[in-house]
Structure 1
Amino acid sequence: PASVFAGMTALGFLSYIIGIHNVTYERADGLVKQVGFLWAANWTLDFMVFLPLFFFFVIELLVFWKSEGRRKLAAQGDQVESDDAWLRNVDASSYTYWSVFLICLLFAGLFQWIGVSLIPLMKGGGNYAMDWGKIALVRPELISVPETVIFTGLAYLYMCLVFYLFFAGLILLYTVVHDLWKIGDGLKKLPHVDHQQELTEAGLTVMRGVFRCTVLGVLVAIWMKVQSSYLASSGENIVAWLVGDMSSMFQGRDDVSTGFRYRMPTHYSSLLIVISTCFVFLYGSIRLGVGGRFHAPLWKMSAVVALLVVSYLLIDAFAGFSTLLAISVLVALYGLFDPGLGRWRAS
Structure 2
Amino acid sequence: MLNNGKFFLPPPKDGSDFKELFKRLAAAGAGRPLGSDGFPAGPWTPELLATAISEIDSNRIGVDLRTVQLWFQENDKGISTANIRWLARIFGCDDPAATSEWQMELSAAQARLTVKRRYGKRDTGSTPFEGRDLAPAAIGIDGLESATGLVQFAHATGGKIRPFGLAMRSEALFSKGSPLNLPAAVFAGATALGFLSYVTGIHSANVERMDGVAKQVGFLWAPNWTFVFLVVLPLFLAFTIDLLVFWKSEGRFTVGAPRDQVESLNGWARIVASSSFTYWAVFLVCIVFAGVIQWVEVCLLPLMKGGGDYAIDWGKIAIVRPDIISVPEEIIFTGLAYSYMAICFYIFFVGLILLYTIAHDFSTITRKLKLRTHGHQLCEINEIAFKTMSGIFRCTALGIMVAICMKGQSSYLTSASRNIAVWLISDMSSVLHGRISPNLETGYRMPTHYSSLLIVVSTSIVFLFACVRIGLDIQLRKTLWIMSTVVALLIGSYLLIDAFPGFSILLALSVLSALYGLFNPGFGTWRGCGFGAKINVS
Question: Which sections of structure 1, spanning at least 5 residues, go unmatched?
Answer: none
C-alpha deviation, 1:251, in angstroms: 2.7
What per-residue deviation string (whole Å, max 9, x for no partner) do you get for residues 300-325 of structure 1? 10000000000000000001111111
- Letter matched to residue 280 of structure 1: V
Query: How many Å separate the matches in 2 of 1:114 and 1:29?
Result: 26
CA offset digits 1:201-258 (Å, max 9, x no partner) = 1111100000000000000000100000000001100001100010011233333522
What do you get for the CA RMSD once the two structures are aligned?
1.5
TM-score normalised to structure 2 length: 0.63
- Alpha-carbon distance, 1:292 to partner: 5.7
Q: Is 1:217–1:277's contact at 8 Å kept on the other side of the alignment? A: yes
Report the equivalent of 2:230. 48
Partner of 1:312: 494
**Partners of 1:194 and 1:185 in 2: CA distance:** 17
CA 1:192–1:118 in structure 2 vs 1: closer, same or farther (change >3 Å)?
A: closer
Q: CA deviation at 1:75?
A: 3.6
Q: Percent identity over the alignment?
A: 61
Q: Which has the larger radius of gyration?
A: 2
Runs of 4+ in 1 over 6 A off after TM superposition: 191-194
Match of 2:149 in 1: none
Gaps of 5+ in 2: 1-182, 530-538
Q: Which amino acid aligns with 2:520?
A: D
- Of residues 279, 287, 290 in structure 2, which corresponds to 1:97? 279
What does residue range 176-325 of structure 1 map to in structure 2 within 5 Å?
A: 176-190=358-372, 195-289=377-471, 291=473, 293-325=475-507
In structure 2, C-alpha distance between the alignment counterparts of 1:186 and 1:295, rounded to whole Å: 21
1:79 Cα deviation (Å)? 1.1
Structure with greater helix percent: 1
Match of residue 162 from structure 1: 344
Whichever residue aligns with residue 178 of structure 1, its letter is H
Letter in 2 for 1:260: T
Aligned 8 A contact 1:38 1:44 in 2? yes
Equivalent residue for 1:4, pick from 178, 182, 186 = 186
1:74 to 231, 246, 256: 256
Report if aligned partners of 1:294, 1:346 keep a CA contact under 8 Å in 2: no
Distance in 2 between residues matched to 1:109 and 1:162, nearest whole Å: 10
In the alignment, what sits opposite 1:340? Answer: 522
The whole-number CA distance in structure 2 between the counterparts of 1:33 and 1:192 is 63
Match of 2:195 among 13, 28, 39: 13
2:19 paired residue number: none
Amino acid at match of 1:94: S
Structure 1 stretch displaced more, 165-174 or 67-76:
67-76
Shift in alpha-carbon separation, 1:75–1:284, aligned structure 2, 3 A: closer
Instruction: Name which of 67, 71, 84 aligns with 2:266.
Output: 84
Q: Output the CA distance in 1 between the equivalents of 2:190 and 2:438.
A: 31
**Whole-Å separation in 1 of the counterparts to 2:433 and 2:475:** 47
CA deviation profile, 1:272-297 (whole Å, cap 9, x unmatched): 00000000000000011155641111
TM-score of the aligned structures, taking structure 1 as reference length = 0.97
1:175-226 deviation per Cα after TM superposition (whole angstroms, max 9, x unaligned): 0000000000011144889732122111111000000000000000001000
What is the SS of the residue equivalent to 2:226?
A: helix
Q: 1:84 to 1:52 in 2, by over 3 A?
A: same
Q: Structure 2 vs 1, CA of residues 191 and 57 (structure 1 numbering), >3 Å: closer, same or farther? A: closer
Q: How many residues align?
A: 347
CA shift, 1:124, in A, is 3.2
Please give the alpha-carbon distance, in whole angstroms, between the structure 2 residues aligned to 1:224 and 1:9.
Answer: 18
Please tell me whether the aligned partners of residues 224 and 270 of structure 1 are also in contact (alpha carbons under 8 angstroms): yes
Following the alignment from structure 2 to structure 1, what is the Cα–Cα distance between the partners of residues 429 and 372?
61
* 8 Å CA contact retained: 1:74, 1:82: no
